[in-house]
Structure 1
Amino acid sequence: MSTLLEKHIVELLRERNDKAISLLYEHYGDTLLGVANKVVRDEELAQDVLQESFVKIWKKSDSYDASKAKLFTWLFRITRNTAIDKLRSVNTKSDKEIQIDVSDVYNLGVNSTRPEFMDVRENLEKIETKYQIVLDALFFQGMTQQEASDELDIPLGTIKSRLKIGLRELKKIYGPTLLLVLSINLIP
């Protein structure tokens, strides 16, 4: 159930009244800044995320539907997604700034980091079968999570859980290197 304050803010947003942003900042700003900071782990970047989030909230105010989500949930999602996008953007930018030709780090060939050239398949057999099946479908057969759910007749939520647990089990075998290899080569 929406509070009177939430209803008032939503009404002001729909009217494109500047007071809506002031009220949002006053009542939700600190919490949303905390959400952004938790994702980007940088106070200055989190401030940028908060500002961008408020701009998106202002622009998307017509899309808010109180029957689908509470105001805070909607604000939280916009802020969290903006933070994730900002983090990806910053990481992509820093990746592009690395100059391979002047790097003194040993440059592994592409084939050496592909799972077919590692012993991932062999070590997959060391984890429970239910995790093996999901990881095989997703990584070696190239299925999406939804396709694996349909093909294996397993609920999508279970696919996601088994993926997470299966990767955690493989991480025990390989350490953090496995996740790096999988994220480079397999995870879209």
Structure 2
Amino acid sequence: MQRSADETAEGLAKSFARGEDGSLEAVYRQYGHLVYTMCRRTLDESRASDVTQEVFISAWKGHQRFDPAKGTLAGWLVTITKNRIIDNIRAAKRHSERRSGTDLADIPTEAGIEQIAERMLISETLRRLPEATRRVIEMHYFDGSTHSQIAEDTSLPIGTVKSTIHRGLAKIRDQLESAYE
């Protein structure tokens, strides 16, 4: 079942790259929450909504530059989002510098935005992993369970637990590398 979800995401990416009718709406339905959440973690609600809209307008205008063979649509959108957030924050800093007495401490840094982008991309990649793989990775990295504990809790052989973690991490790494090429 997960394989068909991957195939669906791949098909959506290809139709978007070709500029097919309805693909922008489908991409927004699929990734709008990811983009908005990333914006909202660094911007106020109003600006987050505006930047989310800017991201999808930019993506649509530049859809021919997206190459599904080089990376995922989620990774490409996260990169656009990161750049739009940085542009928005730079503009806010320029504006606030013109006004005296404005505190710039609450404005996130580019490094902070980069970190948020990576977290969002990892989260999106984890969400797309098969349920069993995601659960084993979560048990190991988030719950702190050892390989032996996971094997016992899931009734999987320890070798399967190790290989599942290895394959899942490889997929996450591939997603991150493709997003930052």
Give the alignment's TM-score, normalised by structure 1.
0.47
Greater relative contact order: 1 or 2 (C-alpha under 8 angstroms, separation 6 or more)? 2
Larger Rg: 1
